[in-house]
């Protein structure tokens, strides 16, 4: 299925590993998305306050502020920012973590290693769903 992202759709990639962040960034830019990159939750919140962001994909384990905390902080923001779709990526495969993250307000969860193609597809589904619901 062809994805048609609206122009200037912005996604915030929160990832402490620059190598992974770069791969994700390039692939998402190929989709025509505007990509902002943050190295941890604190940086991500700063960007969120400054910029218009349509979606977030975040790693779980990060220094300064982890993904779990970031999800909680984002959900505490006033709408529409508080309702931004969030996809969590984690190298921890535990069921407990998965449940904890979804309960905190993440919209979807992917365990590392990730296929970037699958991630793009999931982001598209999240985007579609949030705009249908919104």
Partner 1 sequence: MPFPHVPLLPVLRWATFGLLALTGGLVLVGTILQYRKDRQNRHRIACYQAWETQLTDYLFKKGYEDGSFGPVSWADRWLFRDFLARYQSTIAGQEFELLRELYLGMGLHASLPQRLKDRDPNVRAQAAKEISVFRLDEPAEHAPPPVTERPWRWKPGVRMEGYLDQVLPLLDDPVPFVAHTAAQALTHSRSLRFAAPVLAWVMREELYQRERLLRVLEGFGPDLLPWMKENLESPNQNPEPWILYALLVGSHRHRESLPRLLWLLDVPSVDLRASVLKALIILADPEVYPRVLSFAASPAWEIRAQVARALGVLGGPSAVPDLLPLMTDPVYEVRRNAAQSLVDLGHSGVSALSWLADDPASDRFARDMARERLEWADERGHL
Is the Cβ of residue 48 or residue 89 nearer to partner 1 in the bound state?
A: 89
- Token pair of 47 as six digits: 């960007």
Q: In 10 A of CB 8, how many CB atoms?
A: 10
Q: Residues 19, 78, 79, 132: which binds partner 1 (CB under 8 A)?
A: 19
CB of 118 to partner 1, least distance (A): 6
Torsion of CA 19, 23, 28, 34, to 10 degrees: 40
CA distance 70 to 14: 10
CB of 22 to partner 1, least distance (A): 5
- Among candidate residues 80, 44, 48, the one with its CA nearest the CA of residue 60: 44
Task: Name which of residues 73 to 92 contact partner 1 (CB under 8 A).
Answer: 91
Q: Does 64 bind partner 1 (CB under 8 A)?
A: no
- Among candidate residues 17, 27, 105, the one with its CA nearest the CA of residue 59: 17
Is the Cβ of residue 60 or residue 84 nearer to partner 1 in the bound state?
A: 60
Is the Cβ of residue 81 or residue 112 nearer to partner 1 in the bound state?
A: 112
Question: Which residues form the interface with partner 1 (CB under 8 A)?
Answer: 17, 19-20, 22-23, 26-27, 30, 91, 112-118
């Amino acid at each position: 299925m062809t994805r048609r992202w609206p122009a200037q759709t912005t996604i915030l990639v929160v990832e402490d590993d620059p190598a992974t962040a770069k791969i994700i960034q390039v692939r998402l830019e190929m989709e025509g998305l505007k990509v902002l990159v943050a190295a941890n939750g604190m940086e991500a919140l700063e960007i969120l306050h400054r910029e218009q962001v349509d979606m977030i994909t975040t790693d779980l384990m990060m220094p300064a502020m982890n993904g779990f905390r970031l999800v909680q902080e984002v959900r505490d923001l006033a709408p529409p920012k508080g309702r931004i779709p969030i996809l969590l990526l984690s190298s921890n495969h535990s069921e407990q973590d998965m449940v904890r993250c979804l309960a905190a307000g993440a919209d979807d969860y992917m365990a590392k290693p990730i296929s970037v193609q699958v991630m793009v597809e999931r982001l598209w589904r999240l985007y579609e769903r949030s705009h249908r619901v919104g």
